[in-house]
Structure 1
Amino acid sequence: MDYKAMRSKARERLKGYCRVCPVCDGRVCAGEVPGMGGTGTGNSFKANYRALEAVRLAMRTLHGVTEVETRTTCFGLNLATPIHVAPMTGVSYNMGGDMSEEEFALNVVEGAQRAGALAWTGDGADPAMFDSGLAAIAANGGRGVPIIKPRAQGEIIARIRRAEEAGAMAVGMDVDGAGLVTMAQFDQPVGPKNAEEIQEIVAATSLPFILKGIMTPDEAEIAVRTGCAAIVVSNHGGRVLDHTPGVAEVLPEIAKAVAGRLTVFADGAVRSGSDVLKLLALGADAVLVGRPVITGAFGGGAQGVQAVLDKMRTELIQAMLLTGVATPAEAHHMVLA
């Protein structure tokens, strides 16, 4: 696929919602929520970018690693890459509506599958958002992870039941969506959850349960204590609370706190394979990518999503070779510059 042409097409289709900037760092779209920007001043979105940019890779070429393996296993599924697609919805009010929610979900899930990756799907005020993700997952053999907003307990468990029926391999909740403006605008109440509520939800399903939106070690400990299978270190792309740290700043202490007791995912301003390697080195077991995938979907459909993920995997392979890292797991032990 012509990558430049794909980005140009996406820029046109996303006009007024995303400029598809040469550097996607949150400066131009600050405060554009709904839209693709960061909330308020945009500081949290920019903090994700700056924190990851500040991490330096030590180039090492005097070693015996001549081939690298990017394959990983996630909830029993063998994947070609540790790069996953982050859950995203709200095509009409965040991305301009030049694509239906159903088409977007299918493009994302199918594109990820073509790349040997895994797509996570989202939830939102319009029932079509969660429904579209579930339908895309079911159509692709259950290969996907539906994420539910922090709604009332009964509403969450009802959606978990539907995820089970769709054959999903895991399910989760993005507690970082507790203060989403877009949900409030559509009279869809969401809010924080305490440990007892998390435990109740985890106990309601036999599927691995993921808690997305962890930004402190103490809350990572709560995830462990309540039986979660995984966490996502995330500030919701900087879209819910202004002036948070960047994910790369807090990830090492969180990964240290859980010490392998659950799977650690991380997201936030991942733009290249080198960024993926940085987050793996800081303690993530796998990485979620958001905004670049939207560019792929609008610029080239499922093929565009695959192109974005394939490009990042190729960049990851090169970065691993030039740092002496043979597998994603070995990145945890690499020495950063």
Structure 2
Amino acid sequence: MDIKEIRSLAKDRMKGVCNLCSECNGIYCSGQVPGMGGTGSGRAMKRSYEKISQVKLNLKTIHEAKKPETNIMIFNQNLSLPLISAPVTGSEINMGGYLSEADYCKAVVSGSKMADTFAMIGDSGNPQFYIDGLNAITEENGCGIAIIKPRENNKIIENIKKAEIANALAVGVDIDGAGLVTMALLGQPVGPKSKAELKEIISSTNLPVILKGIMTVEEALLAVEIGAKAIVVSNHGGRILDDTLAPIEVLPEIAKAVKGKITIMADGSVRSGRDIFKYIAAGADIVLCARPIIWGAIGGGSEGVASYINHLKNELIQAMILTGANNIGEINSDMISYNFDI
């Protein structure tokens, strides 16, 4: 499908919840939670966009990188590019209601697989949304990752067992969701996790466990210590705490501390293949993407998701050609410049 067509259809179907602005900078949707915006003033979401936009690519054209390879391996899976569809729930609540939760999950999981990568499915105040995501993973023979809210440990472990039955590739806890008031209002309380609680979660399964919402070197080192297989450097899209730093600001120091010891994922305002490149250059092993995936699903179902991912892949290839990277492993910090302290 054509990206312009996907975006046009998505804009109509999202009924003003998302304006699909030419610059998806968090201004139009500021404060719209539920909805597509950042919490409170929206400054955290806007900062994530501003900071990733300030990172620039160093143009180089005297080299041999003519046909870059974008594939990577993660969790024994070969992906066509270092991108995973981020866990997003609440299609009927946050995205205008064009798709049911089950249809949204199916579009994202199957569309990601069509593009030779995979999706994360999420958890929410409505427990059925998690089941809808797991059903989509089951239909695609386990091609997906289940991310669970920081509920009480017995509830998390119960949901991990459900993910095991679905043959999910991995599981995770978005520990940055600890302050979600909407969960408590719906009778699904969440909260911070102690080191001991996280160890109990990790020891409860043979699946790789991901901790999503790491924004400090201290907690990245702790994740390594307790045996997590991956972290996601993320501020939850700026949707949980106003005035946080942007993921790209803290990523380089985190990567300096734990690169090679744990898989480093990152997300936050990924809108293009160039943004994927920037995060990889700043130290991530793989990048999560949400907004473009949402647009793809609502504008074109699974085909729309696959088309948008392939569009991002083509932009990534162009960035690699014009910076001199033959493969993802060759992308490094010398290929980017920025005018803020990170």
**TM-score if structure 1 supplies the norm length?**
0.98
Deviations 1:215-262 (A, max 9, x none): 000000110011000000000000000000111101000111113100
The letter of the residue matching 2:144 is G
8 Å Cα contact 1:60/1:323 also seen in 2: yes
The residue that corresponds to 1:106 in the other structure is 106
* Structure 1 counterpart of 2:140: 140
Query: Which is further off, 147-156 or 255-264?
Result: 255-264
- 2:265 is paired with a residue whose SS is strand
C-alpha distance in 2, partners of 1:279/1:157? 31
Matched, 1:13 2:13: yes
CA distance in 1, matches of 2:170, 2:242: 30
CA distance in 2, matches of 1:181, 1:150: 12
Residue 336 of structure 1 aligns with an amino acid whose one-letter code is I
> Partners of 1:328 and 1:181 in 2: how far apart?
39
Instruction: List gaps (5 residues or longer) in structure 1.
Output: none
Shift of 1:209: 0.3
State the Cα distance separating 1:185 from its structure 2 match.
2.7
Moved more, 223-232 or 176-185: 176-185
Match of 1:313 in 2: 313
Aligned residues: 337
For residues 168-217 of structure 1, the C-alpha deviation after alignment (integer angstroms, 9 at most, x for no partner) is 11100001111123213312100110111111100010000000000000
Q: SS state of the match for residue 120, structure 1?
A: strand
Of residues 53-62 and 12-21 in structure 1, the stretch that sits farther from structure 2 once superposed is 12-21
Equivalents in 1 of 2:329, 2:184: separation in Å?
40
Residue 164 of structure 1 aligns with an amino acid whose one-letter code is E
Following the alignment from structure 2 to structure 1, what is the Cα–Cα distance between the partners of residues 222 and 196?
A: 10
Structure-2 residue corresponding to 1:126: 126
Question: Equivalent residues in 2 for 1:75-94 (5 A)?
Answer: 75-94=75-94
Residue 298 of structure 2 is matched in structure 1 by: 298
The CA distance in 2 between the partners of 1:113 and 1:314, in whole Å, is 17
Establish whether residue 226 from structure 1 lines up as the match of residue 198 from structure 2: no
1:145 deviation in Å?
0.3
Output the amino acid matched with 1:4.
K
Structure 1 position 332, deviation (Å): 3.1
For 2:230 and 2:329, locate their aligned partners in 1 and report how far apart those are by CA, in whole Å.
16
C-alpha separation in 2, matches of 1:165 and 1:82: 26
Query: Could you say which residue in structure 2 is the equivalent of 1:4?
Result: 4
Measured in 2, the distance between the counterparts of 1:296 and 1:22 equals: 16
Q: Trace 1:249-268 onto structure 2 (pairs within 5 A).
A: 249-268=249-268
Q: For 1:210 and 1:258, locate their aligned partners in 2 and report how far apart those are by CA, in whole Å.
A: 14
Is contact 1:150–1:177 with CA below 8 Å preserved after alignment? yes
- Cα distance, 1:333 vs. partner? 5.2
| Deviating more after overlay: 281-290 vs 16-25 | 16-25
Aligned positions of 1:204-219 closer than 5 A: 204-219=204-219
- Residues 22-77 of structure 1: per-residue CA shift (max 9 Å, x gap): 11110111100010000001011011101100111101111122211001111001
Q: For residue 146 of structure 1, report the CA deviation from its aligned partner.
A: 0.5
The reply on whether 1:48 has 2:9 as its aligned counterpart is no
Contact 2:61–2:322 (CA<8 Å) still a contact in 1? Answer: yes
Matching residue of 2:63: 63
Classify 1:319/1:154 alpha carbon distance in 2 versus 1 (closer, same or farther; 3 Å): same
| Aligned-partner residue type, residue 116 of structure 2 | G
Query: Contact 1:102/1:128 (CA < 8 Å) preserved in 2?
Result: no
Secondary structure of 2:206's aligned partner: coil
Aligned AA (2:220): A
Is the CA contact (8 Å cut-off) linking 2:259 and 2:283 kept in structure 1? no
Please say if residues 71 and 80 of structure 2, whose CA atoms lie closer than 8 Å, have aligned partners that are also in contact. Answer: yes
2:193 equivalent to 1:193: yes
> Does the Cα contact within 8 Å between 1:325 and 1:334 map onto a contact in 2?
no
**Cα distance in 2 for residues equivalent to 1:274 and 1:241:** 27
Letter in 1 for 2:195: A
In 2, the alpha carbon distance for the partners of 1:17 and 1:186 equals 22
Residue identity opposite 2:303 in structure 1: Q
SS of 2:335's partner is coil
Identity of aligned residues (%): 50
Query: What is the CA–CA distance in structure 2 between the aligned matches of 1:95 and 1:181, rounded to whole Å?
Result: 19
Rounded Cα–Cα distance in structure 2 between residues aligned with 1:192 and 1:330: 37
Gap regions ≥5 residues in structure 2: 338-342
1:291-311 CA-partner distances (Å, limit 9, x unpaired): 111111110000111111010
Q: For 2:3 and 2:325, how far apart are their aligned partners in 1?
A: 28
Q: Does the 8 A contact of 2:64 with 2:326 survive in 1? A: no
Work out the CA distance in 2 between the residues paired with 1:205 and 1:168: 12
